Structure 1
Amino acid sequence: MAKVSKEHAESPLGLKNTPENIAPVQLQVMGSIPSWLNGVMYRAGAGLFNILLEDGSTYHIKHPFDGLAMLHRFEINGKDNVVMYNSRHTSNGVKRRIIEKDPTLLTFGPDPCKTIFGKIQSVYLHITQMNKNAREMDSDPEFDMVNVTITPNFPLGKGLAKETGVPQGEAVVVKRDANTLQLVDKNTLGLYHEEEKCYIVYLLTLASTEPLKMFTYGHVDSKLKGQLCASHHQYDEEENEYVNFMVSLGPLPSFQSFSVSPYLPRLDGCGVEGKELTTTVHEPIWRHLGAWKTLEPLKPSYIHSFSMTKRYIIIPNFPYYYSYGGLSALYYSNAYQTFHWEDNRHTLFHVVERNSGRHVATYEADPCFSFHTANAWDEDIIRFDGSTETIINMDMCVYENTDIVDASFEFGKQAGSSFDAETVKPAPYVIKKKTAGKQDHKIAPSQVRRYRLNDVPVVQEAQRVNNTFLGISTDFNRRRVASYIVVGHDLELPRFNQRYNLRPYRYLWGVCQSKFAPSYASGAVVNGIVKLDLHHPTTDNSTALYWDEPGCSCAEPIFVPAVDGKQEDDGVVISIVNATTTEKDYCFMLILDAATLKEVARTTMGIWHTTTLHGSFMDESGRGVAVN
């Protein structure tokens, strides 16, 4: 820790704090925002990495994913070419726990200084303080850190809606890969000012990001139980259904998907007030022991997103497992040291039929890892013998192994950091990564793989009895293997036109390695933006387009469809870009024409960098049209 007098010391890791802008400010727009682009973009990410402690020393967060949560809000008015911006740090409870040295705080990255005694003590305290922490989380909306995805129109349920006063269909909720969610207020902005010892309330018509409630899926419906879930849910617009899954850890782990409907209010405003949500819990995946013929025991793995079609939910089970059924997290107090990669085991795709809720099949694939899925759809094809076969196509950004998780240590870091070597010892900041010592170590960029699941079982009406799960038929109980083709290279954080969700589509937008920076294997994560035409996927005839400028690193591009767009790529993509010049660091919002990736507008946010992971866009009516 670095000794300082008045403010925190600079991080030896190059991770810098991002200042918050509580009161909305109008940003200067360079260029012309399309007149049809009107609504609100939310972005979630990290904002605080260096925390001043009471003794004058500085606590330095060591992994970018552990940066304390920060939300950004952009109200975009294309009619008047105006952008209003405000932001807020939303993990002040976590900041307090760091200052108080709370040993039960779970992180993603490891603490190299933690002794064996400290780890054993951590297990004891996690168990003995479980109820106390649950009570504190219930009363403190910033008790834990939630900073991955942000979901407008979240289905709160009648109880939470009544407790918080947020009407159904109007909730804005931040999610993560654990069963902890954070409701943020979008009507007023109140913040306790420590120096003035009072609340400063800005009476604005603009939405804000003040945390209101920390909760779990069990608050939505008591049937939803488990410790883990996916940050990225799925949504079926036609069925108006929100879908996710829960993972229960322990000696007998299980996966269990569920759906909540109605998710969004009707456009005519009817049928929302007082309507109770219906939650459907599907058959748990545990008793079938993974792929039935191979009898691979089911192990809980790190799952950030999953796939869905009109008829099926597909939960990936990568061989990147939580050791000891996830219980080792209590020992290490972090996720990274809990994970382990088993390259001698298959990736499994567990298939649940949505209508019956039954786990109908598990498919094997080569060992691989993925953070993010893209689109998926099912279809019936006619075989040569005239019979019908159901298949599933699903696109994912896939890595050959988990080396990319090591690369995440470099996400958002800034060069040129200086610190006093006499007061900051480098040893606590040297993280032993799991890829250390590998010969010819390389981190290959992701492949966009299109997996194909053949001969998917169809549950017949005769096999459904009041939605009660019957025994597994012999047709289900056989080995199945997934195949794939590569439809694109070097694309992450995929976004597509959600009007094509759950059906065949053509275009993907995402980030790629910048040609102006070292590769991920060299310890840098600097991104450009890429658009892939999936009809022309190979290198020889690829029609991929890029936005990639020197000194710039782009965050996830959000595709927003044009209101009257006729083509799939009619619209814009919006990204947050960190830029570095010889004179300064700065950050700006970038708007590109989605079809050509030509810049149409940008607006500088501030003379600093910020780290954002994912974002969502709501139209003028408050309806999410680009949600991740």
Structure 2
Amino acid sequence: MKSHSEDITESPLGLKNTPENATPIELEVKGTIPSWLCGVMYRAGFQGAGTFNIPLQDGSTFHIKHPFDGLAMLHRFEINGVQNSVSYCSRHTSNGVKRRIMEKDPTLLTFGPDPCKTIFGRMQSVFHHISRMKKNADDMEEDPEFDMVNVTITPNFPIGKTLEEKTGVLPGEAVVVKRDANTLQLVDSKTLEPLKMFTYGHVDKSIKGQLCASHHQYDEETDEFVNFMVTLGPFPSFQSFTIGPYLPKMSIGTQEVMAVLHEPVWRHLGAWKTMEPLKPSYIHSFSMTKRYIIIPNFPYYYSFGGLSALYYSNAYQTFHWEENRHTLFHVIDRNSGRHIATYEAEPCFAFHTANAWDEDIPTFDGKTETVIYFDMSVYENTDIVDASFEFGKGVDFFDAEKVKPAPFVIKKKAFGKANNKIAPSQVRRYRLSNVPVVNESNRVNTGLFGISTDFNSRKVASYEVLGYDLELPRFNQKYALKPYRYLWGVCQSKHAPSYASGAVVNGIIKLDLNNPKAQSSTALYWDEPGCSCAEPIFVPSDHGKAEDDGVVISVVNASLPEGDSCFLLILNAATLEELARTTMGQWHTMTIHGSFVDQAGRGIAVN
């Protein structure tokens, strides 16, 4: 144990605290930012990564043990290409969680396990979760930092009139942080101050459930935000929903931009269940086309229908991998909300989807066949989840001579597997053929309680591999729901140990999906020694015509002989040549996801 001090910054596991910069500061820019690049980039972390080491009242220190459980932190970069300037601020947004840790709140749910908790302690955990459910719900209403919300950050979120009146946030100006559960956090768009913690039910009471995807989908043509909710239990139900209009309608005058705002309308697409004992699985993102929603069901399941999370008080021990069960892709018709088909594929796992679209393809008999294509960064199994224990610890942490024995020994589920081998991701393009088309003359039958009677009539999904080792995929949002060519993401750094060793240290990669067999010669990389990159956000040039005409922006942690540093990196998206960088501080922060809004405040690259 270390002495009681706010200066504690690093744990025996190599996880470091990151200081906040609540007051905006001007950063020194090295290089030249394109003059057209003007707007704000928001960054959040899948694990927040603001605070890992918390001094307690008894003089000891509480060390957070898994990177995904670092207390949430948001970052805001105001980029002005005309002035070649960057203004930066950041804020810790989970002070309520910090207080609960200091008070030893037994109802805190984490991702990583607590190896010290006994069986008796786990049984007590169930009692505490149930008995304090009402109190925690009341506390969440009053404390905007009561729970951890730290995955994706969404500008222009339509929170509805009730929350707008309660918080004073104008329509179209809400910045909301989301996660894989039905808990969201509204923050100030300029200061990042947490304003309100809420659920989808606060916006519309008909939206119910415990789980949802951190990554929503958006259709610019119909101006709709789309997501789904999962209600856990022996027979889980899925409830798709849409919000529209999503973004303020802009009419541009000669001197100013006027926003014609509309009250968001929530449209419930209907709940659906399945006849067979379908197990609820971990779903971080999903796919959507003009006509369909595709929800993956990987064989990485919540045990006991998710109730085991109350017993273990963490997600990692709740999940289990069943290598002998198929991956399922459930297809929902966007117009009717009906579950129309389920496709099965070999077992796999994915955190993130890329783009998707549907086509009507002529057949040999003069008819047409409806086909869905969707791309994902796919793993053969869930060993990458085990590797997440080492995420963001820096290249130097994996120097065996520097690593000291940690007091927290967590048995990972990959232990015992041959060589603890973790294969890199594959960029797979799945093809769903003969997709049913719902119309008045051809309705999908539903039985009692809306259960699809066609569910057991399974179809088979096929796929081709378009590339390797690309995670956190981003593409030109102008091509959403359409055929496209380029993907940007992170890849294993050639200057660090491989994922198989447990290290997760990333470079940046660009793939040409039109030339998958020539990846070795067509893929482009940005990868410097000692550096680990976060998700590269693609921002299109306002005058560009080519799909890759724009920039990609990342936040990079550097572990160099002269010390740690963290910097904003701006690359030419077409060539991955560096255009500019600016150092934020002599520390590390593990942001993953982010969004970019233009000068009018409209999201043009949102995840």
TM-score grouping bracket, smaller chain normalisation = over 0.9
Q: Which residue of 1 aligns with 2:309?
A: 329
1:319-344 CA-partner distances (Å, limit 9, x unpaired): 00000000000000000000000111
Q: Which residue of 1 aligns with 2:212?
A: 229
Residue 411 in 1 paired to residue 391 in 2?
yes
Residue 85 in 1 paired to residue 68 in 2?
no
Measure, in 2, the Cα distance between the counterparts of 1:67 and 1:228: 21
Q: Which residue of 1 aligns with 2:287?
A: 307
Question: Equivalences for 1:457-472 in 2 at 5 Å?
Answer: 457-462=436-441
Measure, in 2, the Cα distance between the counterparts of 1:416 and 1:571: 33
Identity level (%)? 74
Q: Which residue of 2 aligns with 1:279?
A: 266
Find the residue that maps to 1:47 and give its secondary structure: coil
1:182-215 CA-partner distances (Å, limit 9, x unpaired): 00012xxxxxxxxxxxxxxxxxxxx110000000
Uncovered stretches (5+) of structure 2, i.e. residues with no partner: 252-256, 399-403
Residue 498 in 1 paired to residue 485 in 2?
no
Q: Which residue of 2 aligns with 1:598?
A: 577
Displacement of 1:356 after TM fit?
A: 1.0
- The change in CA–CA distance for 1:168 and 1:364 in structure 2 (over 3 A counts) is same
Corresponding pairs, count? 593
Residue 28 in 1 paired to residue 28 in 2?
yes
Letter of the structure 1 residue corresponding to residue 409 of structure 2: V
Displacement of 1:127 after TM fit?
A: 0.3
1:17-75 CA-partner distances (Å, limit 9, x unpaired): 00000100000000010000000000002210011111121110000000000000000
- Equivalent residues of 1:32, 1:600 under 8 A apart: yes
Q: Which residue of 2 aligns with 1:19?
A: 19
- The change in CA–CA distance for 1:412 and 1:358 in structure 2 (over 3 A counts) is same
Measure, in 2, the Cα distance between the counterparts of 1:474 and 1:117: 44
- Equivalent residues of 1:457, 1:476 under 8 A apart: no
1:385-407 CA-partner distances (Å, limit 9, x unpaired): 11110000000000000000000
Displacement of 1:220 after TM fit?
A: 1.1
- Find 1:70's aligned residue among 54, 69, 73: 73
Displacement of 1:464 after TM fit?
A: 6.8
Q: Which residue of 2 aligns with 1:103?
A: 106
Letter of the structure 2 residue corresponding to residue 442 of structure 1: K
Displacement of 1:557 after TM fit?
A: 0.2
- Equivalent residues of 2:594, 2:606 under 8 A apart: yes
Measure, in 1, the Cα distance between the counterparts of 2:124 and 2:448: 44
- Equivalent residues of 2:157, 2:176 under 8 A apart: yes
Measure, in 2, the Cα distance between the counterparts of 1:439 and 1:63: 24
- The change in CA–CA distance for 1:353 and 1:495 in structure 2 (over 3 A counts) is same
Q: Which residue of 2 aligns with 1:577?
A: 556
TM-score (norm 2): 0.94
Q: Which residue of 2 aligns with 1:377?
A: 357
Displacement of 1:301 after TM fit?
A: 0.3
- Equivalent residues of 2:510, 2:525 under 8 A apart: yes
Uncovered stretches (5+) of structure 1, i.e. residues with no partner: 187-206, 290-296, 419-423
Residue 358 in 1 paired to residue 361 in 2?
no
- Equivalent residues of 1:513, 1:525 under 8 A apart: yes
- The change in CA–CA distance for 1:541 and 1:17 in structure 2 (over 3 A counts) is closer
Find the residue that maps to 1:284 and give its secondary structure: strand
- Equivalent residues of 1:511, 1:528 under 8 A apart: yes
1:69-109 CA-partner distances (Å, limit 9, x unpaired): 00000000001001000000000000000000000000000
Displacement of 1:414 after TM fit?
A: 3.5
- The change in CA–CA distance for 1:479 and 1:43 in structure 2 (over 3 A counts) is same
Measure, in 1, the Cα distance between the counterparts of 2:29 and 2:204: 44
- Equivalent residues of 1:321, 1:341 under 8 A apart: yes
Find the residue that maps to 1:560 and give its secondary structure: strand
Letter of the structure 1 residue corresponding to residue 495 of structure 2: F
Superposition RMSD in Å: 2.1
- Equivalent residues of 2:370, 2:434 under 8 A apart: yes
- Equivalent residues of 1:7, 1:52 under 8 A apart: no
Q: Which residue of 2 aligns with 1:60?
A: 63
- Equivalent residues of 1:3, 1:9 under 8 A apart: no
1:439-460 CA-partner distances (Å, limit 9, x unpaired): 2321000000000000000001
- The change in CA–CA distance for 1:464 and 1:156 in structure 2 (over 3 A counts) is farther
- Find 1:389's aligned residue among 353, 369, 389: 369
Residue 435 in 1 paired to residue 414 in 2?
yes
Find the residue that maps to 1:117 and give its secondary structure: helix
Measure, in 2, the Cα distance between the counterparts of 1:145 and 1:128: 20
Find the residue that maps to 2:500 and give its secondary structure: helix
TM-score (norm 1): 0.91
Q: Which residue of 1 aligns with 2:254?
A: none
